Amino acid sequence: MLKAPQKPEAPKAAKKPYQATHHGITFDDPYFWLKDPGYPDVKDEEILDYLKRENTYFESVMNEHKPLTDALFEEIKGRVKEDDESVPWFDGAFEYRWAFAKGAEYRAWYRRPREGGDWATLLDENAEAEGQEFFKLGGMAVSPCGRYLAFSSDTNGSERFTVRVRDLESGDLLADEILETSGELVWATDGSGFFYVKVSREWRPYLVNFHALGADDDRKVFEEENTSFFVHIRRTSSRSHLVIRTADHVTAENHVLALDDLSAEPQMIRARETGHDYTVDHDGAGHFYIRSNGEQKNFSIYMAAETNPADWQLLLAGDDKLYLTGMQSFDGFLAVEEKQDGLDQIRLLFTDGTSRHIEMPEPVYEVGLGTNAEFSQRHVRLGYSSLVTPPSVFDYDLTSESLTLRKEQEIPSGYDKNGYASERLMVTVRDGVQVPVSLVYKKGWQKGAQLHLYGYGAYGLGMSPSFSSARLSLLDRGFAYAIAHIRGGDELGYGWYEDGKLEKRTNTFNDFVDVARYLESEGYAAKGGISISGGSAGGELMGAVTNQAPELFKAVVLHVPFVDVLNTMLDADLPLTPIEWPEWGNPIEDRAAFETIQSYCPYTNIEAKEYPPMLVTGGLNDPRVTYWEPAKWTAKLRDMKTDDNLLMMKINMGAGHGGKSGRFERFHEVAEEYTFLLMAFDLI
């Protein structure tokens, strides 16, 4: 096992008395003090000092291997086309594209007249990011008249976006500036202003406003008072309506507003019913499309007239094997994203009642709808990749019924997909369920060599068998890379998600452990020869499985890990807690939920035993998984574990949930993770 160095000595956090009692059950938490009561403003010097000491320790340990980290960084960077650009797309009177200049960390966005001509810069993210430690573009939208660009940006990773407006004729910024938004923007048809969503101090998107250009006061359009619901907005594909969606993880309510009638009030499609999730689009001819799980958990698609949106007529029904995951409306047809027996498909459903599937070039892949900006376009743009095929853009022509490759991600340093192979395994876990596993490796890889296993398993977010150019750095060094499609995701349908949440949450952890045991028992990995990683809820997974079966794992990487589940779900003042109760349960009101969460919560269940080497990351400004979760996990684990294996934590002091923001900057963190894995397997 990878041992901690004698010097420098790992930092230790102070232990301070703290007790809490719920449902007559009392528990101690000596590291509760690491949560700054002033959050999101973290100013407590003792807390900041501890985080800085952990960062210093991380840097001192990793510094010995800096040449390898630098080499990995250059290797990963070398697989990125520095002067990359998108496939252009038409939208109204203009053609658009984005491009990276050589060496640039961020995109620049361009447009030109539809009939051709010189490209003009819409927005240069590099200029906006200048002087900032962090930069993220939230949203951007050109007014219908083509003159104004509204855009939103976040400069500290807190996901609180500031909206500004640029006059594209003069190039000047207008005085209009809106703080504390979610970043989403939708223009009114007449271009007089736009809709946006405000976030609360606790970072809950809750209020839809309309901002008229040049106005001092904005008009309230919709406000959600239920703190467990978040509000989002978008424009229908037909561009006729604003859709206001308010939802938690399992229940939704949608309101629509005609974008050419700013005096109108939002119209509800159907009132919220617990457990009923639905989305809305528009056919451009007086009808709404609704994708709903009200009658079938794998969703069905309905149509309703604008004049009677509560009367839904069935168009396409899901079933136990057919899972309808998304849709987009076009003039004359509806494109449907679906999974058939877990495999991605694109179905085109025409207004004459006929339908067809788009055939894909490989048997196992991921595919989804791409940039389809125009309602009237006669092609469907798709995003595609597989474990061995780099991200690609295809256009499907409706007239010729043919698929044309518009772009495949270029690997400048060289890549031959024929040198790699992939497999799909089905693993029978402890309760008899079969769990899919995707496996990729360089040809010549031998069973029993090093293997890395990745998992997530939450929120119904399935992990697709997709390509990663960075991953090649592991494959080329003799690793196989596996993805465990465990319950809690939706790879095999909505029921796959339901079987990994609430009182069934432990299925997710058991699936992952049983997959690891299978890979070991079948000789895919040597005994104790599997490294693992996961982020956010996948970081919770890492903590839980390491508590359950630490002997299985060679090394563990927990990125922004949601490991303090019990304390977080008991804190109703945190922005993400009320909306998370349908996912995890409400331990404040429900004793059974309290006991279930307490039984698996990674932080709560740290024990005095041996743990594998571990790398933990976090972000000081992260509003999703607050910084104190990885900090408390690291502090408690370092105090209680009985081994001398390496335990490191790195907290990004100027970033949030996604880490660093630049396209090359983030590769430093990948290179650090891979260095840690190579250290653990003694491959340095």
Question: For the chain, which residues make up each domain, given as ranges?
Answer: 19-77+417-680, 278-409
Contact 501, 583 (CB under 8 A): yes
d(CA 171, CA 120): 11
Give residue for tokens 């031998």: 446
* pLDDT score recorded for residue 596: 98
d(CA 260, CA 279): 21
* pLDDT score recorded for residue 32: 98
| Alpha-helical segments (H) within 319-409 | none
* pLDDT score recorded for residue 298: 97
Nearest to 404 by CA among 412, 394, 414: 394
* pLDDT score recorded for residue 664: 81
Cβ burial 325-344 (10 Å sphere, 16+ → b, else e): bebbbbebbbbbbbbeebbb
pLDDT at 487 over 90: yes
Which helix (H) or strand (E) is 120 found in, with range? strand 120-124
* pLDDT score recorded for residue 40: 85
Nearest to 2 by CA among 664, 650, 648, 495: 648
| Alpha-helical segments (H) within 531-590 | 537-548, 565-569, 577-584
pTM of the model: 0.90
* pLDDT score recorded for residue 202: 82
Confidence label for 661 from pLDDT (cuts 50, 70 and 90) = low
DSSP 9: P
Superfamily of domain 19-77+417-680: Alpha/Beta hydrolase fold, catalytic domain (3.40.50.1820)
* Residues near 202 by beta carbon (within 8 Å), at least 6 away in sequence: 573, 574, 575
In tens, the pLDDT along 501-523 reads 999 999 999 999 999 999 999 99
Q: Lowest-pLDDT range, 174-188, 361-375, 466-480, 644-658?
A: 644-658
* pLDDT score recorded for residue 655: 62
Residue 657 falls in the annotated catalytic set: yes
* Residues near 9 by beta carbon (within 8 Å), at least 6 away in sequence: none
In tens, the pLDDT along 86-99 reads 999 999 999 999 99
Residue 269's SS3 state is: strand
pLDDT at 624 over 80: no
DSSP output for 433-470 = -EEEEEEEEETT--TTS-EEEE----TT--------TT
Give residue for tokens 């409306």: 329
Residue 622 falls in the annotated catalytic set: yes
In tens, the pLDDT along 239-259 reads 999 999 999 989 999 999 999
* pLDDT score recorded for residue 65: 97
Residue 255 falls in the annotated catalytic set: no
Of the CA atoms within 13 Å of residue 549, those in its CB half-sphere come to: 19
* Residues near 478 by beta carbon (within 8 Å), at least 6 away in sequence: 442, 445, 449, 450, 683
Q: Which residues pair with 343 in a beta bridge?
A: 340
Single out the catalytic residue among 249, 379, 559, 657. Answer: 657
pLDDT at 287 over 80: yes
Cα 484 to Cα 362, 419, 437, 509: the distances in Å are 21, 23, 5, 11
**CB-CB neighbours of 187 under 10 Å:** 21
Which helix (H) or strand (E) is 163 found in, with range? strand 161-167
* pLDDT score recorded for residue 657: 54
* Residues near 45 by beta carbon (within 8 Å), at least 6 away in sequence: none
d(CA 205, CA 223): 9
Contact 302, 290 (CB under 8 A): yes
Mean pLDDT, residues 203-220 taken together: 95
Beta-strand relationship, 451-454 and 480-484: parallel
Contact 41, 374 (CB under 8 A): no
Single out the catalytic residue among 385, 622, 661, 668. Answer: 622
Contact 77, 667 (CB under 8 A): yes
CATH architecture of 278-409: 7 Propeller (2.130)
Torsion 652-657-661-663 (CA) sign: positive
pLDDT at 663 over 90: no
Cis peptide before 582 (omega within 30 of 0): no
Contacts made by residues 95-98, CB under 8 angstroms, sequence distance 24+: 96/122, 96/373
* Residues near 40 by beta carbon (within 8 Å), at least 6 away in sequence: 158, 201, 203, 621, 623
End-to-end CA distance of the chain: 14
Confidence label for 574 from pLDDT (cuts 50, 70 and 90) = confident
d(CA 461, CA 481): 20
Q: What is the CA radius of gyration of the chain?
A: 25
| pLDDT mean across residues, the chain | 95
φ and ψ at residue 673, rounded to 5 degrees: -60, -45
Single out the catalytic residue among 536, 559, 564, 661. Answer: 536
In tens, the pLDDT along 101-131 reads 998 999 999 999 999 999 999 999 999 999 9
Structure tokens at 268: 């509800």
